[in-house]
Amino acid sequence: MSDLWTSAEIAEATGGAASAPFVVSGVAFDSREVKPGDLFVAMKGEATDGHRFVDQAFAQGAAGAIVSDAIGHPHIRVTDSTAALQALGVASRRRMDGKVIGVTGSVGKTGTKEALYLALDRAAPGQAHRSVKSYNNHVGVPLSLARMPRESAYGIFEMGMNHAGELSALTRQVRPHAAIVTAIAPAHIEFFGTEAKIAEAKAEIFEGLEPGGTAIIPYDSLHVATLYNKAERHAARILTFGMSPQADVHALETVPAPNGGTLVTARLPDAELCFTVAAPGDHWVSNALAVLAAVEAVGGDLAAAGLALAEMPGLPGRGERRILPVAGGEALLIDESYNANPLSMAATLKQLGREAADRRIAVLGGMRELGSASADLHAGLAKPLADGAVDFAVLVGAEMAPLADALEGTMAYAHVPDAASAIPLIEKEMRAGDAILVKGSNGIGLSRLVAALGQAVRDGETN
């Protein structure tokens, strides 16, 4: 492929002035992530100023920078670096002639985005581009757009929000040909008050659809009517997905696969497809149906998508499964440490109950941004824990106090103040034959527990 951007193209896109000619092969706004040949965007934020790290970025091999202050390296001088990054993202989308898919939802958007990338890349190797990590906000989306090679046949972009109006702005930058809402759940309900308001905000993704675009919505959602009504105003075509036979893309049959995944026979408007979803759980079947709907909407290869879903590895923090050697055998660690809300908690606990294990241990961290409903929603996890046949629960964080009260006298549990306190408890407790689920909001820091368990195994310290 050709160079990602020339200094002249960057200057034209941002309205800035180039200090010297240069070309770049990548874009970064975190100096720690700069690679040789990258463009470093020095942004001024509330906590820090990226201009402080310009020298570090060039020491790591940056080829140029976008800056609002004078520097002694090749650069594009602009008034506002953040606005310049957004302008560069818009210019990148404008020059791309392929198909673009936007993904949002309260749960499942990162996994769905990754599955879409694998599905489209399998049919067109090296021609698909997607957001990395969870770069889905007002700076992450334009960064992901700016990184898109001009020759890309497909672009897949995750978009998130925690306030009304945010998705409206992001989707108008992405301008998707197909836009997915994966599911609606009380994530960020602190800022909205009701799930209905969350559904309205998620539906903003349809506002940016290209002419002739397709809206893809979850038929089984309680808020399908809200999503559908919004989609009708912006989409030329609407595809629903779900387990219900009334959905446009639905599962005719699901059978547990030997490796923990699911064998699925799916019906689409003009096709029927048998495939395997490697990731276990009903929620992943739902995500896979959304993927198929999007691949069909952009004219992709459905057979290749089915093969990609069968081979998709687990994502760290979002369902990655690790086998931990312990005394006398092995334990299964299921890493869901990146995020949590009541819907995703219930889904993963349900799947935990299906695991073939001598004991099931659930390490659950507090769920953030639930507002006045927080206590009731945490206490409400008692039933999913029981339904998941959990033998021992470790509850992490002050938010989990209502659940601890609800579990009193019903099952074995421990309530600890933080992730650091959970580490020695789990290291001491786990044994061969265990299936251990680790899930909580990212701010709880349960990823440190996952890392510690892996390190203990490597060091030979685990019981």
Interhelix angle 195-202/224-234, nearest 10 degrees:
20
- Which residues 6+ apart lie within 8 Å of 151 measured at CB? 1, 2, 127
- Phi and psi at 287, nearest 5°, equal -60, -40
C-alpha closest to that of 213 among 176, 262, 164, 158: 176
> What domains are defined for the chain?
5-79 (3.40.1390.10), 96-311 (3.40.1190.10), 320-459 (3.90.190.20)
67 within 8 A of 51, measured Cβ to Cβ: yes
Q: What does the alpha-carbon distance between residue 380 and residue 375 come to, in Å, rounded to a whole number?
A: 8
Q: What does the alpha-carbon distance between residue 86 and residue 95 come to, in Å, rounded to a whole number?
A: 15
C-alpha closest to that of 102 among 171, 167, 150: 171
170: tokens are 């992001």
Q: What does the alpha-carbon distance between residue 222 and residue 403 come to, in Å, rounded to a whole number?
A: 25
192: tokens are 């909205």
Per-position b or e across 365-384, b if 16+ CB within 10 A of its CB: bbbbbbeebbeebbbbbbeb
Q: Is 60 exposed, middle or buried (0-12, 13-18, 19+ CB in 10 A)?
A: middle
Per-position b or e across 225-247, b if 16+ CB within 10 A of its CB: ebbbebbeebbeebbbbbeeeeb
- For 3, 129, 382, the CA distances from 121, given in Å and listed in that order, are 20, 8, 41
C-alpha closest to that of 282 among 381, 349, 202, 331: 349
Question: Over the chain (463 residues), what is each successive 10-residue block's mean pLDDT?
Answer: 89 97 96 96 90 96 96 97 97 97 93 96 96 87 97 97 91 98 82 87 97 98 97 98 97 89 95 94 94 98 96 84 91 91 91 93 93 93 96 96 95 95 93 95 93 67 43
The per-residue pLDDT for 454 is 77
In one-letter notation, the amino acid at residue 331 is A
- For 118, 276, 311, the CA distances from 101, given in Å and listed in that order, are 13, 23, 21
pTM attached to this predicted model: 0.84
Cα distance between the two ends of the chain? 51
Q: What does the alpha-carbon distance between residue 324 and residue 259 come to, in Å, rounded to a whole number?
A: 17
C-alpha radius of gyration, the chain, whole number: 23
The per-residue pLDDT for 1 is 46
257 within 8 A of 281, measured Cβ to Cβ: no
